[in-house]
Amino acid sequence: MSTRLLHIADLHLDRAFAGMGCQGELAIRRRLGLRDALRRAGRTAADQGCTAITIGGDLYEHDRAGADTATFLADTFASWSPIRVLIAPGNHDALLAGSVYSRTEWPANVHLFVTNEMAPLPLAEGLTVWGLAHLEPAWQGNPLAGEAVGGDGGVHLALFHGAELGSRPDGKSIHGPFHAADIREHGFAAALSGHYHRRRIDPAKALLYPGSLEPLTFDESEPRGPVLVTIGGDGSVGYEPLNDNRWNARTAIADVSGAHSLADVVDAACAAAALACAGLEPERTMLRVDLVGEIDTAVSTDSFTVETAVRDGSGAAGVRARDLTTPLLGLAALGPEGTVRAAFARAVAQAAATASDDEHRRSLEDTLRYGLQALGGAEIGLR
Ligand SMILES: [Mn+2]
């Protein structure tokens, strides 16, 4: 007899999406899209005959979630009954006094883990899910610090929000640090985790990160969706990723080397955007356009113009342009000897060549870039 669970994490309900450049209507559509993703997870769990949906934290964002989100969650979870809902709060939805978790009356099928040490919940014959909660956003405890479990036999799963230290992406915060080797060592057949937004299914280490259900930044590629976890009668654990995202995030690289005018820059950006969005529904696509290459400093790369043109050309719901170009510094680009422009460029370039450290050198490169743009009469957009 096997048991099925549907595992999700990092939904981030009520997210502002300001980091993706979303405002107004688009930000609202993205937030409604997160609610839709949760509802679809419930339908999937019912279709797949799941005993429970497990949520590995960051279900919502505490700073933005209010009474309406609480009601939405309580009603949605109640509609999933008799499927059980197991929740292990994370850093964005920490179990604080006055939080959505604390002040909501949850339906009987919801089980909230409320201590920052693993507590057991018997789920089925011979199957126990252990979970914990982040009680404050900055909690740095090790979720697997407690005693080993399972001395009495049976299958034991861990459900928590935490940062596996062997696979931490650059710059990702360390909330609830742990080592993958401790999962099995502590008697768990699997760790159903949350925190990293990229899907990671690692049967060898018994570690699962489902990733966020929809892309939350431009770097969050697809596919995305819940992961179906099947616990066999023999204690084996199987993982089946489901692809269910409705939104897409893409980055288009536009090489604008040799552009003579903003029109050339716009053309290159639109061509790259069309390639990157091929086959996607534009009205649910978030597109970042990176402008790269060496460009004459007299040519404007105005981001707002590029974004407007790309949005118009591709129909993408959201467009963000990044100027990653470097100034073209050939003699022809600097103009004739004896001009202020050439004298300025040579002086700064020489200083940059002999700069004592990287920070100073980068600062001089910015000086050169903005200075030449100003002398060339171009619109200067800060990067
Ligand atoms: Mn998260």
Q: What is the pLDDT of residues 306-329, one digit of tens each?
A: 999 999 999 999 999 999 998 886
* C-beta separation of 268 from 231 below 8 A: no
Neighbours of ion ligand 1 (CB under 5 A): 10, 58
> Ligand 1 centre from 167 Cα, in Å?
15
Task: Please state, in angstroms and rounded to a whole number, the distance separating the CA atoms of residues 260 and 272.
Answer: 18
Per domain, the residue ranges of the chain are 3-241, 248-375
pLDDT of residue 358: 87
> Ligand 1 centre from 89 Cα, in Å?
11
Which of 302, 317, 295, 318 lies closest to 266, judged by CA?
302
pLDDT of residue 334: 66
> Ligand 1 centre from 231 Cα, in Å?
26
Residue ranges in the chain modelled with pLDDT below 50: none
The counts of H helices and E strands in the chain are 9, 19
Pick the CATH number of 3-241 from 3.30.390.50, 3.40.630.30, 3.40.50.920, 3.60.21.10: 3.60.21.10
> Ligand 1 centre from 123 Cα, in Å?
26
pLDDT of residue 335: 65
- 190-194, strands of its sheet edge to edge: 119-124, 127-131, 155-161, 190-194, 207-209, 200-202
Which of 253, 348, 256 lies closest to 300, judged by CA?
256
| 197, two tokens | 């937004």
| 146, two tokens | 């407690």
Q: CB-based burial of residue 359 (10 Å sphere; 0-12 exposed, 13-18 middle, 19+ buried)?
A: exposed
pLDDT of residue 353: 82
> Ligand 1 centre from 180 Cα, in Å?
19
> Ligand 1 centre from 48 Cα, in Å?
26
Residue 33 DSSP label: H
> Ligand 1 centre from 41 Cα, in Å?
17
Which of 149, 147, 230, 153 lies closest to 188, judged by CA?
149
Alpha helices in 48-168 (DSSP H): 67-79, 100-103
> Ligand 1 centre from 272 Cα, in Å?
30
Task: Please state, in angstroms and rounded to a whole number, the distance separating the CA atoms of residues 227 and 243.
Answer: 9
Residues constituting the chain: 383
> Ligand 1 centre from 368 Cα, in Å?
39
Which of 49, 97, 107 lies closest to 73, judged by CA?
107
Residue matched to tokens 């700064």: 348
> Ligand 1 centre from 16 Cα, in Å?
13
pLDDT of residue 187: 96
* C-beta separation of 273 from 316 below 8 A: yes
> Ligand 1 centre from 153 Cα, in Å?
33
pLDDT of residue 341: 81
> Ligand 1 centre from 277 Cα, in Å?
26
pLDDT of residue 296: 85
- Beta pairing partners, 318: 286
> Ligand 1 centre from 337 Cα, in Å?
55
- Beta pairing partners, 202: 207
> Can you say whether residue 17 is alpha, beta or left, with left for phi > 0 and alpha for psi between -120 and 50 degrees?
left
* C-beta separation of 97 from 137 below 8 A: no
pLDDT of residue 117: 96
Which of 262, 254, 272, 261 lies closest to 324, judged by CA?
254
pLDDT of residue 152: 79
